[in-house]
Structure 1
Amino acid sequence: MPGSRDGGLILNLNLLPGGTAKGAWRLDDRDPAWFVSHRHYVEAAQLAERGLFQAVFLADTPAWDDAYWHHPWRALTPFIALTTIAAHTDRIGLIGTASTSYNDPYNLARQVASLDLVSDGRAAWNFVVTAGDRPARNFSQPHAHPKDERYARAEEFVDAVLTLWEAWEPDPIAGDRATGDYLRPGVIRPAAFTGAQIQVAGEPLVPPSPQGRPLLVQAGASERGIALAARTADAVYTHQTDLDDAVAYRNLLRDKAARAGRDPDTLKVLPGFFVVVGDTEEAARERKRRLDEATPDAVRLSFFARQLGIPVSEFHIDRPLPFDLIATAEISRSAASELDGLLDAAARDNLTVRQVLALRRNGTQHVSVIGTPEQVADTITAWYLAGAADGFNLHVASSPGVLADFVEHVVPLLQAQGVFHDGYQGSTLREHYGLAPHRLGAGARLLSR
């Protein structure tokens, strides 16, 4: 039956090297080095563009993980990789991650604006707050700052970046050969931001792109993260697995955006969506089983330890979990929602780490479908029409394998159901998301707290 909401479903592709299944590379005949190269990202982005995805998304972790000995990792900095993708694609949006904890607002604003300009208005910045001592040691700090300090810096950082982007007026270049004026008078003004941790005073170097300024994306699930997203973000990544919970969460974000003086429709809510597709449900589950078996326990353990915020060295595969450390760990809200039941079962049954990993083999922090194209499309459509999401950040189990099948078999079903577009209606990411062109200078409202 035809859907509604005017075919405005948003699909982002999460660019995970080889796919979500960390052992997927072992089942691919190509040179394993392919999966840490820019060529792999370009291949995935071109497939996603063929499927009319609105954007690709590249996360980042500014520290080594011991699991990288066993699977491909995001070796390239996001904005280098995305600039390469921009040169090999025409329409698809480009969302890159950078931490507010270990960057400088002026340099970061310039990097993102540069990507936005060279891609003709397709860029977005996913801002994150980085926890953990391991990244801190890469930036001249022995320990990560306390969470409250990190979020205080993030709030100032985002406002400073917006101040820099908003310093321009539209269409700044006069190019008047008679007078020698290259810029129109008054089109740029000094950006002045003063906070407790961050101070910026100077003119930004990169003029605006056709979409005005890059989009802001955020994934914070804490109270402060939600408040910051409601005030500044154009899109929010979320971690719901239950439809009713997702409806409530989206309504919460939209309500907070309205309280911040924004039109709620300008904030797009994009839960993660994990998918393995097959001709039959049995074939999809067999595909998932083979991908799971290709992923070593060491990789699964590393990810589990990272979710808990505990060094992997504190886990012993045939002993119970270190509950004394878990009790004081800084676990993100999104991870806690997935892990609560698992940790309860581990404590109740005195499970070893090996047994816990076996239990969560099919676990995910996101809504997931392991099944036929029809099952995948029906789930996406149901969530979208129920108001649980404006779209999804897609996590495919393997790339290009599962991704290619999604593009070939699931996208046409979404189009037939009337929830997904059948062609790009514009050229900028803002247009892809159904957002009005950004009016430079309007950001002054967002910067007030």
Structure 2
Amino acid sequence: MSSTSTETEVIKSDKYPAAIPYIIGNEAAERFSFYGMRAILPIFLVAQFFNPTGNPALQTVAEAKSNAQVHIFVALAYATPMIGAALADWFFGKYKVILYVSIIYCIGHLFLALYDTDLQWFGYGLTLIAVGAGGIKSCVSANVGDQFDKSNEHLMSKVYGWFYFAINSGSVLSNYFIPELYKNYGASVAFGVPGILMALATLIFWLGRKKYVIVPPTGFKPDFAKLKEGFSATGRVLLVFAFIPLFWAMWDQNLSEWILQAGKLDLELWKGHTILSGQVQLANPVFLVSFLPVFTYVIYPNLEKLGVKVTPLRKIGVGLALTGLSFVIIAQIQDKIDAGGHPSVWNQILGYLILAWGEILVWVTCLEYAYTNSPKFMKSIMGAIGLLTVALGNFLVALMNESISKGGYFAQYTGASYYWFFVKLMAIELIIFILVSKFIKEKRYVGED
């Protein structure tokens, strides 16, 4: 063997980076805070501000106002990652941005707990949480990838899977306990506990400060050769991400529209055991936590053994189809509600199961795709571009609900027709994705010097 080949040979390692437990612990606690707050947000907005008397004549408009508010909040939370990513990649580094912006995040939670009867100040709290959650969002996922090099990059897919597992573990716990706290102790306690968990998340992150592989900021230097490479990478990834806003426009309804729909269902799981409408969404993270290992360690490897190449684009395509199928189920449920029925909550739980499969195939894949297909100086930026798809999808749904609340064009899409509208959109998008995906090429950037 020549000296050149020896020098370039990479010795594989099965040792995970030392910082991973701190990153995953931080993510689990932070997601508890975020999803715990969201678990009761649409119900709270209707009951506290938009229809406090429970007038049936006002309910449709009140729900549309609540949905619009929730989706605007989510849109802001997923638009600000671009700012956080730029600050991290070019000026301060990921560690400082995550740590200091997390403090803003904690203050936002404090506002929700203190001002649960004042819509204006409650709104300020939502804004601070959106800025905090968004400011760290792309940095945290990119920080996972920074811990790897050429020797252990083969472990990255598994760690991103466990990273997403942590997200949904926090979500499982919060989706169960926060609605219970809201019912038994009121809004201030129910919004306060997520704030405590965000403070814990910040502490966990700080405790791992000596374990991280810290990639220093590159500075904002207009290197035209790098910019050309960056624009090329951005173009490839954007071609994929162009199909993701509709996925998020539909997915995020399980934390707003689906919760409000659950209030009209028969919520008895079995004889003598009824759950709260805000707890039905617990099904999504439970299914995610349960099926992530199944997809990672069973389905994907066995498909490969059968000769079926499991590519990122194939995962995304199947995930989009499953997302559309979940909405077929929700639309059929709404058809029965509109006819005066009270379908079993188990019908909606089936919708959550299929939506979870779609999410695993679409978004877990996109997290890794955004990192591996972007050069070193654009890792966080590319992650933020992925998160902008969430913002765009939620912004479109917010506009639609705003139109409904004001009797505009989309007021014709209420009840079941609202959900069937999205089913049709996804069917059209899926056909286009199948046609375009064959022309999309990959270029991986992992463990660069």
Please classify the TM superposition score into its range, dividing by the shorter chain length.
under 0.3
Instruction: Give the TM-score normalised by structure 1.
Output: 0.26
Higher strand content, 1 or 2: 1
Instruction: Give the TM-score normalised by structure 2.
Output: 0.26
Higher helix content, 1 or 2: 2
